[in-house]
Structure 1
């Protein structure tokens, strides 16, 4: 058995996102199955640009602390590493420090001695401007060449690290690695690659387990264990009542990829065209045939967000059948009336603010692609105003308030009364952000864009 273990690495992925929760028993089962490392993602860009732009976590501190307490105790008890990627949702420096503070509190409270590494991925604007001048920054579709002002406009910029900085931290003696922004797969692939597992199976397994139990028959039941060896890998759910099937495992290559057969990492491209998915039994899947093509140039993808303005939102609900019979006509009238009233009352033209009117229950999600014919029974009307400052955004929303409450449609000879969701109706959302970078940097070394701080001594209880 020892010789077999020497030629395989078992990665425990407890959940798709730190703070999302998981049954503690599933982690215990993963340890019993011989996990060599625990990897968990702390965030991504899925939830939009606010978390990067504002450098704020999406998750609640209590939820992150609950998950970390279980994982830190598990890692310490089994004497295996714990790797957390994209700390604080977006992987900014303050996000890493936020998670590190939680870890420090838990280690002290539990009397654990674990050496912690922080890997920072936030990028200095001046450094990136130099890279741009040197011709080392390139756009990814659909964006064009990067303008210096775009870099300067970002509130925060991070680089998505590959496995190399994580491996360097582990080799330096880290038992807990808290990484800034990292590719979702790098955190799971790092330890197997460090232990000499082939890149094809290591990266493919990492892709499948990046979201924990999403590749299983019950994603709510906990995570998975990937066992990687010289020829391929197996995927097993940590809950014994849950199954992986070849279709469920293969389907995860469709998730967040441009091409279901390829996935680019900083140091190369995963190629699964020849991958074969086989059911080992009714709940475990074996995958073989994955390959990895090393790139000529190592690259790091940049993510950056900037403020687009300040937002104020209001929300009312329509149940009046006469309005709902021509809800699109009513919405067009609402847009016209808002513009007219804003100009009449506070003297603002269309170029001084913007607003969006979304009809939830009608076409707010699919817009013109909505296939269902006929009028809806009820509609939620969301007004979202964007302006250069909060005061202006709120003023526009207040001007729209009587219209959101009483606007009749054409042909109505009475004022309808619609229903606001909140009082006051106007909700100030603060600064709004947008992603503006979809570019890569040609690196000089795989680790030169990242900074690692390794504690000299472990925490003492």
Structure 2
């Protein structure tokens, strides 16, 4: 093939798009559809609990759009990081939805499932062999950390996806994968050069985010021997050199480089040229093959159980020095918990966040002067749910009536709901941000090809 056209319908499976944009991409000659289905953006809960953050009906709607279009055009569909975090159960969840959609639409497609969860015992062997290395800001990994994780996934490169496609898969449902590998797999399999392929895959990973209207739909990337072009699928949206180049600033440590399992994309010499007022051409991208193939590991573990309480402050006397009020709240809550529950400081933890003041930027907040309205979020963490809720209940009177240090009366603050305490269940943290040296790009992953069952 002299070129490969990759259709990226949106930033995430389940986020939705106008099906007409997918139809336009098919009409423009798309050779493959690729879509990411996951992310770590929403925190460790989804990996730690193996829970998707998207709704099943939303995923079904998007899969129906892609599978019907791809089936009619005779092109493959590739989905990465199924179920948000790419756990084995996430792959099976998306596969189950896909099976229902295919049965309803009468589609007869071969589906490959690629599992990316990792075995703790095998990872400890890798650790003992010196094959696991930390990524900043984490330090050296300990075996106990591996054992503490509820789920661990490896972020696959393009090779397992290529293996599934070569085995005859028309629909590839992959576990955790790099966002770019999902789009790069098919063009690399068809012989496109790695520099333009990985760069194009980076630009289209979030669909229309590189266009003038990210809400309008996805994009089509055409990759060839010299470079690639990017075209929005919505006729009213446009790509410009600045919008396309700017996506290299997104989720990268270095805007000129991006590491993949098998090497590093280098865009220092890339040139971004406007073909017309909607389409951009990019040339000059390079890819440097690494001496060692590595797979990034992601793992999460339970840190305790959380209970949340929330109140709102509109009182100008409190807001005149909201930091003093917050300091008093922290001091009094610690005292009351010790008096009433008999808990030591190391038996629970709490965080007080002042939304409308500094909850987002904290000490980096550039604005000065008192806020007009502040939402106070109390998050309590303890080793069990009952203890976390008990601490939040001790805080309840103060969240409703605590006066500022200079006030001689009780103010009334505003709870948004009753009860004021909301039990959030298990809380998780990411504890694995490491890479493991691999002898084979596919050795950490398991591929299952499902027989056609829907005629």
Question: Residue 3 of structure 1 aligns with which residue?
Answer: none
User: How far apart are 1:287 and its partner, in Å?
Assistant: 0.1
TM-score (norm 1): 0.98
Question: Residue 118 of structure 1 aligns with which residue?
Answer: 113
User: How far apart are 1:165 and its partner, in Å?
Assistant: 0.0
Q: Deviations over 1:41-71 (max 9, x none)?
A: 0011111000000000000000000000010
Among candidates 235, 239, 250, match of residue 240 of structure 1 = 235
Question: Residue 211 of structure 2 aligns with which residue?
Answer: 216
Say whether 1:259 aligns with 2:254.
yes
User: How far apart are 1:460 and its partner, in Å?
Assistant: 2.1
Q: How does 1:268-287 map to 2 (within 5 A)?
A: 268-287=263-282
Say whether 1:459 aligns with 2:453.
yes
Question: Residue 383 of structure 1 aligns with which residue?
Answer: 378
Q: Deviations over 1:266-308 (max 9, x none)?
A: 0000000000000000000000000000111110000000001
Question: Residue 25 of structure 1 aligns with which residue?
Answer: 20
Partner secondary structure for residue 264 of structure 2 = strand
User: How far apart are 1:425 and its partner, in Å?
Assistant: 0.2
Among candidates 78, 85, 90, match of residue 85 of structure 2 = 90
Partner secondary structure for residue 334 of structure 1 = helix
User: How far apart are 1:459 and its partner, in Å?
Assistant: 2.7
Separation in 1, partners of 2:346, 2:117 = 34
Among candidates 311, 317, 323, match of residue 316 of structure 1 = 311
User: How far apart are 1:140 and its partner, in Å?
Assistant: 1.2
Separation in 2, partners of 1:86, 1:244 = 27
Partner secondary structure for residue 129 of structure 1 = helix
Separation in 1, partners of 2:362, 2:138 = 25
Question: Residue 108 of structure 1 aligns with which residue?
Answer: 103
Q: How does 1:22-421 map to 2 (within 5 A)?
A: 22-421=17-416
User: How far apart are 1:411 and its partner, in Å?
Assistant: 2.0
Partner secondary structure for residue 373 of structure 1 = coil
Separation in 1, partners of 2:342, 2:369 = 38
Separation in 2, partners of 1:429, 1:411 = 35
Q: Deviations over 1:140-159 (max 9, x none)?
A: 12211110000000000000
Q: Deviations over 1:223-265 (max 9, x none)?
A: 0000000000000000011000000000000000010000000
Partner secondary structure for residue 178 of structure 2 = coil
Partner secondary structure for residue 393 of structure 1 = helix
Partner secondary structure for residue 436 of structure 1 = strand
Partner secondary structure for residue 112 of structure 2 = strand
Answer whether contact 1:107 1:459 (CA < 8 A) is retained: no
Separation in 2, partners of 1:395, 1:454 = 50
Q: Which runs of 4+ in 1 moved over 2 A?
A: none
User: How far apart are 1:371 and its partner, in Å?
Assistant: 1.2
Separation in 1, partners of 2:151, 2:244 = 35
Separation in 2, partners of 1:421, 1:444 = 55
How many matched pairs? 455
Q: 5+ unaligned residues in a row in structure 1: which ranges?
A: 1-5
Q: Deviations over 1:352-371 (max 9, x none)?
A: 10000000011111111111
Q: Deviations over 1:382-418 (max 9, x none)?
A: 0000011100000000000000000011121111111
User: How far apart are 1:127 and its partner, in Å?
Assistant: 0.8
TM-score (norm 2): 0.99
Separation in 2, partners of 1:318, 1:136 = 52
Question: Residue 8 of structure 1 aligns with which residue?
Answer: 3
Answer whether contact 1:323 1:409 (CA < 8 A) is retained: yes
Partner secondary structure for residue 362 of structure 1 = coil
Separation in 2, partners of 1:213, 1:453 = 32
